[in-house]
A and B are shown apart, each in its own frame.
Chain A
Amino acid sequence: MEAIAAARGLYVCRVCSLLSQGAGTAARCPRCGAGLHFRRPHSLARTWALLVAAVILYVPANVLPVTRARWLGGAQDDTILSGVLYLWASGSWPIALLVFAASICVPLLKMVALGHLAVSVQFGSSWQPRSLARLYRVVDVIGRWSMLDIFVIGILVALVQAKGLATIDAGPGAIAFAAVVVLTLLAAKSFDPRLIWDASRHGSR
């Protein structure tokens, strides 16, 4: 018999790693009490739904302004990208690179990677499951860092509130961008990495 827990009717607890024989439909881990599933229910469908929603919102997140600055005799709307360009032009290029990585590379990479994972599982690809597993872990770890720009906007709005002199307000793009970040985080959470190995097993035989 194959050494796959689910194939032997055993559950691996996703919280505390205990191996157990669940009983009934709503099995719970005997050690920590977390719900047990052989595979997360509707994992692939949920991942697709959240991912598609994120991709759609990615457009307004980048086109609409995330901040609106007003000062004596001037006003400027900034998008995510123009904010990075401003930092670059003003000479703080290490910070510009950091924001570029967190706000532009991470969301894009995450959506492409999740799409790649979902497609591989959907079509039973047997292509390098170990690399896919590593890709999943990378997505899971770096995802949170794209919240960076949302926090920067919050701090800017809080600090630059000298009425009549200069103010910064959050723009509609910020909501869309935050939605993209949260949706991709949820998509990564709902993806069950065990499906990668199921797919590679069925695909190669």
Chain B
Amino acid sequence: MTGLIGCRECDLLQRPARLESGGVALCARCGARLYKAGAPAQHRVLALALASLIVLPVANAFPLVGLDLKGSLIETTLFGAARALYDDDMRLLAALVFATTIVLPAAVLAALVLAVAPLGLGTRARSLLLRAVHAGMPWCMLEVFMLAVLVALAKLGKMATVVPDTAAWALGALVVLWVAALTALEPFAIWKR
């Protein structure tokens, strides 16, 4: 195991190359991303994750979009989509939407903050948290939901006046911060310490 690294996607053993700053090492055989150059960007991950954690309640608490249907305004929140499906007797579907847009983003974000914040947590606890982040990440679908808001606006725009509300802007900001935090999170770098 003398200084070798293994590719996670094709199992090839190879010698890590020396990278220029900002460079990314790819597997010589399958082209998968191996690691990124530079010092661990933990402080950046923490900043972005904390910012996301501040915006997240705003995106959840305020109305997302309003529909002006002949004078009567109907508003919905992020939770409203899951709630409406539940009331529609689509329990499983409601659970899926609830999990992917509310529970998991909040849980993964909280786990990420706890894992990278200098809280004096032991290595075991931090590893557990980072593994939870790794497992939950693919099921957080806020950015897909944001696009869905745009599609819904386009669908309803022809028959009624639709107005994006506070939470829509918060959701937009949240998605940007969220994606930036996950991009800065280099699993290899965090574990190198």
Contacts and interface: CB of A to CB of B under 8 A. Distances in A.
Given A16-B187, A170-B90, A158 B84 contact: yes
A160 B84 CA distance: 10
A32 B135 CA distance: 13
B65 A31 contact: no
B98 to A, nearest CB: 10
B81 A12 contact: no
Q: Which of A14, A137, A149, A156 has the most CB of B within 10 A?
A: A156
A65 interface: no
Interface of A: 3-6, 8, 10, 12-21, 31-34, 83, 86-87, 90, 92, 95, 98-99, 102, 129-130, 133-134, 136-137, 144-145, 147-162, 165-166, 169-170, 174-175, 178, 182, 185, 189, 193-194, 196-197
B158 A90 contact: yes
A125 B154 CA distance: 46
Contact of A12 (B8, B30, B100, B127): B8
Q: Which of A14, A102, A152, A196 has the most CB of B within 10 A?
A: A152
Given A95-B151, A156-B152, A159-B74, A32 B88 contact: no
A3 B30 contact: no
A21 to B, nearest CB: 7
Given A4-B11, A6-B11, A92-B154, A144 B144 contact: yes
Interface of B: 1, 4-14, 29-32, 34-35, 64-65, 67, 69-70, 72, 74, 76, 80-85, 88, 90, 92-93, 96-97, 100-101, 124, 127-128, 130-131, 134, 138, 141, 144-145, 147-152, 154-159, 162, 187-188, 191
Nearest to B96: A178
Nearest to B5: A19
Contacts of B1: 10, 19-21
Q: Which of A13, A130, A158, A193 has the most CB of B within 10 A?
A: A158
Contacts of A83: 155
B147 A159 contact: no
Contact of B12 (A3, A147, A150, A157): A3
Given A15-B187, A17-B8, A155 B152 contact: yes
17 contacts: A4-B11, A19-B13, A21-B1, A32-B127, A33-B124, A130-B30, A133-B32, A149-B148, A151-B141, A153-B85, A158-B76, A161-B84, A162-B69, A165-B72, A170-B93, A178-B93, A197-B11
A144 B70 CA distance: 36
Given A166-B69, A197-B10, 4 more contacts: A4-B12, A12-B11, A144-B138, A158-B80
B6 A155 contact: no
Contact of B156 (A159, A182, A185): A159
Contact of B72 (A10, A99, A162, A194): A162
Nearest to A96: B154
Nearest to A175: B93
A20 B5 CA distance: 10
Nearest to B191: A16
A129 B90 CA distance: 42
Given A15-B187, A32-B130, A98-B151, A162 B74 contact: yes
Nearest to B151: A152
Nearest to B124: A33
